[in-house]
Amino acid sequence: MPRRALITGGAGFLGSHLCGRLLAAGFEVLCLDNFKTSVEDNIAQLTSARGFTFIHHDITQPFFIEGPVDYVLHFASPASPPDYLRLPIHTMKVGGLGTYHALGLAKGKRATFLLASTSEVYGDPQVSPQPESYWGNVNPVGPRSVYDEAKRYAEAMALAYHRAHGLRVRIPRIFNTYGTRMRLEDGRALPNFMTQALRGEPLTVYGDGRQTRSLCYVSDLVEGIFRLLLADSPEPLVVNLGNPDEVTVLQLAREVLEVTGSGSKIVHRPLPQDDPLVRRPDICKARQILGWAPVVSRRVGLRRVLPYFQKAVREQARTRAEVLA
């Protein structure tokens, strides 16, 4: 029998790529989503694939899956600042109730549980690069806390299930990732810059632009998650996944202008509250236990993703023109 995996948030940016990776590896994939921050187009190419099933459901509500489930991958959650600032209570419900429901299914099915965590558990770090042993510097009552603390709580709950019930737990702490299927209005630096550059609009850099990010191409990230999912260890594994090649936000904006050939200017706006000033993963653990490291350079990745953003911007402009006509 093929291995059977449930992916919550499976129609999202990362979830949809992961659905495709598991299907290619011979898994049967159950994709659960409610399209609150995702779109059906992300899984349109998968709906006719053998072994793929879509389930329309809100993970904050109880649910049950018939038959065996070998892996439960919990990716459901608003993940970009505009989304979780617009949906603060839902974000915390997904991190709390959603994680509880997903863990309950994994426990009942004796499945391996993988929680998509985030570099945001480190907050605005005072240590760089950030190793998994770092406890973080998070403002528990700031506007970003609805996402940061929801993920920290979800990690704590997953480990509680391991200690109390012996559940096999895998937790990738995902750093900035980019690639096809990102929304134009995602709100994060790269899609913002790409969209603004291709529209001929000024690129918005917050603060002086010296804050750093580390961008990982989506195919690299998905490969790391796949290896972590199948890692042969009875112990819980908490592993950073991301690209340690650090770049300032200002330099990233300049690279986007170069790759798009845009003549747009760069404008500066005030830095949002609690926006991290450094972000760089220590991936020694991933190298050691997974034999994993990113292989797609940022220069290659930006050129690889450019046609996707070009097409998305054209289609959005055409749709807006039709509405106004």
Which sequence positions are flagged as catalytic?
147
Cβ burial, residue 314 (10 Å; 0-12/13-18/19+): exposed
Query: Which pairing describes strands 71-74 and 52-56: parallel, antiparallel, or unpaired?
Result: unpaired
**What is the three-state SS of 22-78?**
HHHCCCEEEEEECCCCCCHHHHCCCCCCCCEEEEECCCCCCCCCCCCCCEEEECCCC
Cα separation, 273 vs 120, whole angstroms: 14
> CA nearest 15: which of 36, 32, 28, 27?
32
Do residues 167 and 233 make contact, with C-beta atoms less than 8 angstroms apart? no
Angle subtended at Cα 163 by Cα 160 and Cα 168, rounded to the nearest 5 degrees: 90
> CA nearest 93: which of 77, 105, 104, 106?
77
Report residue 33 as tokens. 């989503």
